[in-house]
Structure 1
Amino acid sequence: MKTDPERFIRENTSVLAPPHVPEVRLFLASEAHDLWLKTEDELDAIGLPPPFWAFAWAGGQGLARYVLDHPEIVEGRTIVDFASGSGLVAIAAIKAGAASVLALDTDPWTGTAIALNAQLNDVVIMHENADRIGQPIAYDVFLAGDVFYDKAFTDRLIPWFEDLVASGIEVIVGDPGRAYCPRDRMEPLATYEVPVTRALEDSEVKKTTVWRFR
């Protein structure tokens, strides 16, 4: 029997506020390992990505904090939240006054997770389950939290981000010190000490920098 995504999310997460962004509430998992196993076993999820949508990652928390503290970045503008996951950054952008937000993520479960989280926060977010890397994007600001964790993925992102900037789009990313972060191509905007769980990271606090692509 096909598992209903909404039921699975409600039964395996709790409504929590990320520690660095208490203004937002999300359906979040408290234990990474157990949920990873459950998505593989109960859902028979061959080929399904890990449930990144169930966690508030440090890069996303830092970026969401920056957006809420600097609403002029998004106010009245059209926004893309790339690799949106739970929708945390997208929700922060709407709360900060964005005209509209499109959440992009290739995981088919993120649509349900983002819709549930948007409802929790009384906001409206558009969602697209598609790989748009390399394609033009007709939006004002492009936000991406914690996307430089894999070399092959980063190698795809860098030229795309540079093309977006060249077309007049502002590209802002949040990164907690991932190995493949292209720091030489960006300027720092803010740095935060973001509380995280050891189930996800190698420490209880991750130094997270918000960058703007040059």
Structure 2
Amino acid sequence: MRPLKGAAAAAFIREHTAIAPPSLLPELKLHLATEITPIWQATEEALEQANVPPPFWAFAWAGGQALARHVLDSPRERWSNRRVLDFGAGSGLVGIAAMKAGARLVRAAEIDPVACEAIRLNAELNGVEIEVAADDVIGRDPGADVILVGDMCYEKPLAERLVAWLRPLAGCGIDVLMGDPGRTYRPTQGLAEIARYTVPTSLELEDRETREGIVWRLLP
């Protein structure tokens, strides 16, 4: 397996994506792919490994877009001087929105080394600074006042482990917001809806051309 990180990852991202705004966030721009299969195949070739996880970082998913839109639409004082953790950051979209909204600090937690480089490149594109935590932070002190989780309930083991960590944190006064477009493993209890957006999507990624992206507050 060939490593793909740092300068090599940055070159890969620039070669296989185009700079474009997410559909719901015209004021931002990201390195985005238009089709999932070519960049997925290119990732396997670059890593010299088959059956690698999909390159989630290369797309602005509906739950993340809804959450980022809510952050930018909120009053600026809502985010001023707040420390934010963007969990499973992918492209860094949600964390970028938080910095644009006035957060004091954003840390993006992401275990994919290519995604970590994408976060750095996308932050630079949007004129913000984001700290990248390139490891699994579940179970640790988040070091944040707010935790933002965009579209992470697509896999049962991860969703259960994540919510088991987040719910006690919500009970300790940390504001936990989740953006979700109806993924199978979203919690069915202990959520309060705070915003809803219709997010244009691609049939490359979803089974329909729009998704209802809902922003939830996780309750203790």
**Alignment TM class, shorter chain as reference:** over 0.9
TM-superposed deviation, 1:46? 4.9
Q: Which secondary structure does the structure 1 equivalent of 2:136 belong to? A: coil
Structure 2 gap segments, 5+ residues each: none
TM-superposed deviation, 1:132? 1.1
| Alignment correspondent of 2:35 | 31
Change (3 A) 1:76 1:204: same
Write the letter of the residue equivalent to 1:170.
Answer: D
Q: Does structure 2 retain, via aligned residues, the 8 Å contact 1:175–1:181?
A: yes
Q: Does structure 2 retain, via aligned residues, the 8 Å contact 1:81–1:102?
A: yes
Q: TM-score, normalised by structure 2?
A: 0.93
| Alignment correspondent of 1:188 | 193
| Alignment correspondent of 1:44 | 48
Establish whether residue 21 from structure 1 lines up as the match of residue 22 from structure 2: no
RMSD over aligned Cα atoms: 1.4
Give the length in aligned residue pairs: 214
Change (3 A) 1:45 1:119: farther
The counterpart of 2:122, out of the listed 108, 117, 126, is 117
Distance in 2 between residues matched to 1:183 and 1:74, nearest whole Å: 27
Identity %: 46
Structure 1 gap segments, 5+ residues each: none
| Alignment correspondent of 2:72 | 68
Q: Does structure 1 retain, via aligned residues, the 8 Å contact 2:88–2:149?
A: yes
Q: Which secondary structure does the structure 2 equivalent of 1:76 belong to? A: coil
User: Residues 124-139 of structure 1 correspond to what in structure 2 (within 5 A)?
Assistant: 124-139=129-144
Distance in 1 between residues matched to 2:49 and 2:26, nearest whole Å: 32
1:44-100 Cα offsets, whole Å, 9 max, x none, are: 145743211110000000000000001343222000000000000010000000001
Distance in 2 between residues matched to 1:134 and 1:96, nearest whole Å: 27
Q: Does structure 2 retain, via aligned residues, the 8 Å contact 1:145–1:175?
A: yes
Distance in 1 between residues matched to 2:214 and 2:3, nearest whole Å: 40
| Alignment correspondent of 2:157 | 152
Q: TM-score, normalised by structure 1?
A: 0.96
Runs of 4+ off more than 4 Å: none
Q: Does structure 1 retain, via aligned residues, the 8 Å contact 2:22–2:29?
A: yes
Q: Which secondary structure does the structure 2 equivalent of 1:109 belong to? A: helix
Q: Which secondary structure does the structure 2 equivalent of 1:23 belong to? A: coil
